[in-house]
Structure formats: C-alpha cells, structure tokens
C-alpha cells in the first residue's frame, strides 16, 4: 500500500497575498517532479480552480466539490489537470458548506471541524501530496483545512497588514491543536510578492526576521507581471519570463521539502 499523502495548507488570514498562486504553482511543480498531487479548492471564490482549468483548457466541470461532499464521495469530482496533477474543483455552491456541516454535525463542533478530513481519508493513499486552498478567514473552511493537514505554510506579502495577519495565524494554529487535537506542524513563513529594493518590503522582512526567526523562509517570491498573466492565461512555460517565475517557486519548493524532512526527523 502506498504511504499516506502529505497534506499541506498554504495559508494567511489576509486576502490578495499570493496564497492561491503559491498553492497552485507548488502543486504544478511537484507534479512535474513525478509526485502525485491533488489540489483541493476549498474556497467558494474558486480561484485555484479557475487557474488550473485555464492551464488545462477545461471548459466544463461535471461535478463540483460541494456536490461530492454532499454525496460523501470526493472521487466523483476529481478532474485530471495534467500528468500527476488532479483537482477537486470549487464553485459558488460551496458557500453552502457551513449549512452542510449543520446538517452533518449538528452541535458536535469536533465532528464539524473534521468533516473534510473524514472525506479526504480514502484519497490519501492515491497521492503523495494534497494541497488545500481556503478563503483568508477564520471559518469552517479554514478549521476543516487545518485539522485535515499535516503541515501549514504561511505566505506573507511584504506589507504591514500581511505581516500582522501572518503573526496572528500562529496562535490560531495552537488553538486548533489545543482544542481540536490537530496534528499539524508549521513549515514556515514564505515572503511573497516582494518589490525589489522596496524600502517598505525590506523593513517588513527585517521585522519578520525578528518575529519568526528560523521559521522565515530564505527563498522568496518577487513581484512579477508574469505571475498576474498566469491568472489570465493559465500556467505557461513559453519564454524566459515564465521560467524565471517557475524558478522562484522551485526555490520555495526545494526549501519547503527540506523543512518538511526536518520536521519529520529526516536528515538533510
């Protein structure tokens, strides 16, 4: 039997910080390395779904994540994006997720938080990695993502509000561990969308180094127009601009994998 997938939540409480793009690109690059990867889009805005659908030129999705959840069978919604990369696609119907939890869990808060974990369990032997994308909120979506995950990686745009949101996420994780027995480790905090030689960006990084110390990634993502184009056209590998962007994310991926090995007690 295959080993259980490593489940990763790329997170932040602030929106617009590159969380979804990081989730998708790390998944895409892991699949290129031969790892079997699933992206679970647990966000009703469906940005991860849109980006991957454009990448694969998909025009129609037969079954949404919410429909599969309601039937308690996530395999019904799985869509193949490329070799080694699958998607559980979101749509606006996922806004009804809290109401589904009301029906399934009633007043049992523990069961409510573990609903997605229960549904994911049969898929864990099929994949090497499962990435969960969630809205930037404290909500049923994030609670379910956290308790379903083995690891959380926080993305931090080099702005004051993003730094503050990243700082607040850590005690939230501890609360989920204490109150819901979540078995989760923090991989670290990744600086994203940094402006080269930006005065504020460099100040935020210096503050982050004081706050997070060794948890702050050395690899980072600089702001580039090509990243925005991926949202419009899907992920491409056509020219040196594409390769520069993918190279940055590959550096983050390398550090992420190294940090996971350390957390698992593997010598690197």
* Among 148, 206, 173, 127, CA closest to 12: 173
Sheet holding 85-88, edge to edge: 79-82, 85-88, 37-41, 129-133, 6-11, 151-157, 185-192
Please give the pLDDT value at position 190: 94
- The model carries a pTM of 0.95
Of 4-18, 85-99, 140-154, the range with the lowest mean pLDDT is 4-18
Domain boundaries, the chain: 6-263
CATH homologous superfamily of domain 6-263?
Answer: P-loop containing nucleotide triphosphate hydrolases (3.40.50.300)
Q: How far apart are CA 128 and CA 122, in angstroms?
A: 13
Quick check: 92 pLDDT over 90? yes
Short-list 148, 154, 146, 265, CA closest to 208: 154
Q: Are 261 and 268 in contact (CB under 8 A)?
A: yes
The tens digit of pLDDT for each residue in 196-233 reads: 778 888 898 899 999 999 999 999 988 888 888 998 89
CA distances to 48, 59, 159, 204 from 45, rounded to whole Å, are: 9, 17, 23, 29
When pLDDT is cut at 50, 70 and 90, the band that residue 1 belongs to is very low
d(CA 66, CA 82): 22
| pLDDT (tens digit per residue) in 136-186 | 888 999 999 999 999 999 998 888 888 888 899 999 999 999 999 999 999
Within 13 Å, how many C-alpha atoms sit on residue 19's CB side?
A: 29
Q: Residue 81: which H helix or E strand, with range?
A: strand 79-82
Q: What's the whole-number average pLDDT of the chain?
A: 92
* 179 CB-near residues (< 8 Å, 6+ apart): none
Which of 259, 251, 184, 242 has its CA nearest to residue 26?
251
Q: Are 87 and 41 in contact (CB under 8 A)?
A: yes
Q: Report the length, in residues, of the chain.
A: 268
Buried b (16+ CB within 10 A) or exposed e, 258-268: ebbeeeeeeee
Q: What is the pLDDT of residues 28-79, one digit of tens each?
A: 999 999 999 999 999 999 999 999 999 999 877 889 999 999 999 999 999 9
């Amino acid at each position: 039997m295959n080993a259980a997938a490593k489940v990763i939540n790329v997170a932040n409480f602030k929106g617009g910080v590159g969380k979804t793009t990081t989730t998708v690109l790390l998944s895409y690059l892991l699949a290129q390395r031969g790892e079997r990867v699933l992206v679970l889009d647990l966000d009703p805005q469906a940005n991860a779904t849109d980006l991957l659908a454009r990448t694969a030129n998909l025009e129609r999705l037969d079954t949404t994540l919410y429909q599969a959840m309601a039937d308690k069978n996530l395999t019904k919604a799985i869509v193949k994006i490329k070799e080694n990369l699958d998607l559980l696609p979101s749509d606006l119907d996922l806004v009804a997720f809290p109401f589904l939890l009301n029906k399934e869990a009633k007043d049992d808060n523990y069961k409510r938080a573990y609903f997605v974990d229960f549904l994911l369990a049969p898929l864990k032997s099929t994949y090497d990695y499962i990435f969960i994308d969630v809205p930037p909120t404290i909500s049923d979506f994030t609670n379910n993502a956290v308790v379903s995950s083995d690891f959380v990686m926080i993305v931090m745009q080099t702005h004051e509000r993003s730094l503050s949101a990243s700082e607040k996420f850590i005690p939230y994780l501890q609360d989920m561990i204490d109150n819901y027995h979540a078995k989760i480790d923090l991989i670290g905090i990744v600086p994203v969308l940094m402006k080269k030689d930006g005065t504020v960006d460099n100040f935020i990084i210096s503050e982050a180094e004081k706050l997070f110390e060794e948890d702050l990634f050395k690899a980072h993502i600089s702001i580039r127009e090509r990243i925005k184009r991926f949202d419009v056209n899907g992920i491409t590998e056509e020219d040196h601009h594409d390769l520069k962007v993918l190279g940055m994310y590959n550096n983050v991926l390398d550090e992420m994998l190294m940090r996971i090995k350390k957390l698992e007690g593997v010598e690197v």
